[in-house]
């Protein structure tokens, strides 16, 4: 088959196309709906903890006493049982519009809310290139078509966890959520995507010293990473490594 021809799959049932699953996922604090995203319906408890943490709604996993999931007509609701003051805060900050898997900050009410949680990280040294090379090999061998992966490592380059989702923001939230629940801080995250401001924000808020992405970050992501002393690395899809910001 040449590139001038199509493989005709117009009559193939959707479930036989092997595409990644995607559903609307709504996060609620008690009975208050906070935000909806399009996400892969797996590891949703870790996603909910990571997303709530990244949004500044909680500061530790123990603030959530229970997590329940319910099927809705078209998607899933993940309900976090939290104290009344967190629910009130969720009502005040609830997203104006639904977010999507491609832009996690869509619907933020104010620009200041987009920058919330940014801080200057403690000084840190970027990981050795050989450590990133090994991480890239793992990402390449374990990648799934149509899905993003976030790989988490400790300071010695040992793998601590994985977040997988159709959205890169959701994949990182799942990884952060798992690290909070398991009490294993991350020293480096490698993402199978480009880097946006929100990914920098999530890494900084979680206290992750190093964020590496497959393709080039936005200029705003680089600027904020430098202000926050985040080690930000572009891996150029494994062809070379560029350190764009350092601690």
pLDDT in tens, the chain (247 residues): 344 564 676 678 877 867 778 888 999 999 999 998 889 999 999 999 999 999 999 999 999 999 999 998 878 999 999 999 999 999 998 864 444 444 444 444 344 555 666 889 999 999 999 999 999 999 999 998 889 999 999 999 999 999 999 999 999 999 999 999 999 999 999 999 988 888 999 999 999 999 999 988 888 789 889 999 999 999 988 888 899 998 8
Residues 113, 101: Cα–Cα separation, whole Å? 19
Read off the tokens for 17: 């196309």
DSSP run (H or E) holding 215: none
Per DSSP, the three-state class of 156 is coil
**Counting beta carbons within 10 angstroms of the beta carbon of residue 77, is it exposed (0 to 12), middle (13 to 18) or buried (19 or more)?**
middle
Q: Which residues are catalytic?
A: 103
Partners of 76 in beta bridges: 25, 71
Residues 124, 43: Cα–Cα separation, whole Å? 30
Read off the tokens for 240: 């070379």
Read off the tokens for 100: 């999507």
Distance of CA 17 to the CA centre of its chain: 26
pTM: 0.84
């Amino acid at each position: 088959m040449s590139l001038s021809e199509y493989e005709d799959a117009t009559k193939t049932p959707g479930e036989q196309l092997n595409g990644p699953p995607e559903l609307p996922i709504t996060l609620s604090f008690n009975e208050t709906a906070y935000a909806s995203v399009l996400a892969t319906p797996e590891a949703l408890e870790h996603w909910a903890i990571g997303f709530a943490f990244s949004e500044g709604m909680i500061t530790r996993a123990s603030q959530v006493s229970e997590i329940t999931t319910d099927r809705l007509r078209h998607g899933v609701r993940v309900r976090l049982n939290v104290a009344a003051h967190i629910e009130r805060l969720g009502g005040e900050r609830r997203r104006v519009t639904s977010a999507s898997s491609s832009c996690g900050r869509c619907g933020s009410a104010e620009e200041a809310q987009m920058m919330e949680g940014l801080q200057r990280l403690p000084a840190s040294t970027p990981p050795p290139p050989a450590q990133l090379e090994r991480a890239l090999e793992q990402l390449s061998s374990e990648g799934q078509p149509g899905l993003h992966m976030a790989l988490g490592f400790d300071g010695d380059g040992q793998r601590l966890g994985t977040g997988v989702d159709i959205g890169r923001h959701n994949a990182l939230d799942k990884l952060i959520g798992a690290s909070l629940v398991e009490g294993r801080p991350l020293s480096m995250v490698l993402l199978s995507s480009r880097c946006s401001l929100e990914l920098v924000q999530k890494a900084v808020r979680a206290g992750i010293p190093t964020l590496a992405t497959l393709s080039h970050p936005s200029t705003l992501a680089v600027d904020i990473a430098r202000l926050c002393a985040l080690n930000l690395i572009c891996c150029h899809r494994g062809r070379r490594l560029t350190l764009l910001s350092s601690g």
